[in-house]
Amino acid sequence: MTWSTREIADLAGTSLRSVRHYHDVGLLPEPERRSNGYKQYGVTHLIRLLRIKRLVDLGFGLGRIAELGDRDEHPEEALRALDADLVAQIERLQQVRAEVAAMLEQRLPTDLPAEFAVVGKAAALSEPDRRFATVMGRLLAPEERSVYAELLTDDARSASDDEFDALPADADEAARDGLAHRMLADLHVLRERFPGIDALGSGNPQRYRRTVEQVSAEVFNPAQLDVLRRLQALGRRERTRAARPDAARGTPPPPGTSS
């Protein structure tokens, strides 16, 4: 007895398209054709197709199935590798589920990484701070995100942060200069409390600096940007006087983290 392509696909619980694809990639040998030109599949084809379907359902890729070939022996090594991959997937899904549960329970925003959203301040973040936090979630390495999360807490916020957030675009020279000096003083305190902030973006400092500057240019008004430039200039002069060149301190942490 033989089957047509549609019949063998139905029997194996797969689709015509899948059967044809398995032919195209060499997983399933082409059967002989009847005199009318239609393919005629036999038991060997069905068993091979059932094996492919089973392995696909387990999670094997077609390339790995091709490597296994038609051998009947137990593919222990391949199964153990698949099991390890499934363990990793389960762990990832459990972590994702925990994050979703926290979002539902605490009504957390979905644009912030979990480390930033759960610090208890997510709802109170200003729009610029929130944009920075969202970008930092992608920019920073996993070990750096925990440091940045600490900087988002109320405990890490200084009076100069509030001044910076409220600074109008038409702030005068004295207001800008005074705020830059106060922010520098607060930055010294912040560095003593959170020494890890100087290592933020150290994996790719050029990209980190460029990204911080790009986000700043889009979320802050001209007066705030001028204050940040003054803050950087003050920091450079301080390091020159101390004869302590340090490229990592050339870019202060993003505003919203005691600037």
Of 40-54, 105-119, 139-153, least confident by mean pLDDT is 105-119
Indicate the pLDDT class of residue 129, thresholds 50, 70 and 90.
confident
Within a domain: residue 259? no
Q: Identify which of 238, 134, 253 has the alpha carbon closest to the alpha carbon of residue 193.
A: 253
Same domain, 144 and 230: yes
Same domain, 14 and 84: no
The more confidently predicted of residues 218 and 38 is: 218
Same domain, 120 and 221: yes
> CB–CB of 129/156 below 8 Å?
no
> CB–CB of 29/51 below 8 Å?
no
What is the pLDDT at residue 248?
Answer: 47
> What confidence tens digit (pLDDT) does each residue in 211-258 have?
999 999 999 999 999 999 999 999 888 888 876 555 444 555 666 554
Same domain, 180 and 242: yes
Domain containing residue 34: CATH number: 1.10.1660.10
Share the mean pLDDT of the chain: 86
Indicate the pLDDT class of residue 49, thresholds 50, 70 and 90.
very high
Of 25-39, 98-112, 186-200, 213-227, least confident by mean pLDDT is 98-112
Same domain, 151 and 87: no
Same domain, 136 and 90: no
What is the pLDDT at residue 214?
Answer: 93
- Which position has the token pair 């099991």? 83
For residues 176 and 164, what is the distance between their CA atoms, to the nearest angstrom?
9
Same domain, 151 and 98: no
Same domain, 81 and 24: no
Within a domain: residue 204? yes
Within a domain: residue 232? yes
Q: Which of 124-128, 165-169, 240-244 has the highest mean pLDDT?
A: 165-169
Q: Which domain holds residue 84?
A: 73-107
> CB–CB of 4/41 below 8 Å?
yes
Q: How far is CA 137 from the centre of its chain?
A: 7
Average pLDDT over residues 174-198: 91
> What confidence tens digit (pLDDT) does each residue in 54-75 have?
999 999 999 999 998 877 678 8
> What confidence tens digit (pLDDT) does each residue in 81-122 have?
999 999 999 999 998 898 888 778 877 777 777 777 655 555
| Whether pLDDT at 145 is above 50 | yes
Within a domain: residue 257? no
Same domain, 170 and 84: no
Number of domain units in the chain: 3
Same domain, 234 and 122: yes
Q: Which amino acid is at 53?
A: K
For residues 29 and 255, what is the distance between their CA atoms, to the nearest angstrom?
63
Same domain, 177 and 100: no
Average pLDDT over residues 167-180: 96
Same domain, 98 and 40: no
